[in-house]
Amino acid sequence: MANILVRDIPEDVYTQFARVAQQDKRSIPGEVLYLIEQEIACRSARMQSSRQVLDELAAELATRPRLPVTAAELVHEVREEG
């Protein structure tokens, strides 16, 4: 198994963290691992949700009719007029 070493943790943060670990009936390393796993799961869920929203948006946009001209053509046209 891999190891992680965290240095220079402020004393008050460590004290609070140790208190939380004790309340959760976990060791300090156990609490660290638990929180890392929870964060990874949350991020994965957010990424999946974001992908789903983007897929739904792409599907919605695919059903809309395209403009007869591109944005580049409109910019070119405006520049020629001005």
How do the domains of the chain map onto residue ranges? Answer: 18-81
- Which position has the higher pLDDT, 30 or 81? 30
| Mean pLDDT confidence for 61-75 | 87
pLDDT at residue 49, as a whole number: 94
* DSSP state string for 36-54: HHHHHHHHHHHHHHHHHHH
Task: Look over the chain and give the mean of its residue pLDDT values, rounded to a whole number.
Answer: 93
- Side chain identity at residue 16, one-letter code: Q
pLDDT digits (tens, 9 = 90+) for 25-65: 999 999 999 999 999 999 999 999 999 999 999 999 989 88
pTM exceeds 0.85 for this model: no
Cβ atoms within 10 Å, residue 34: 13
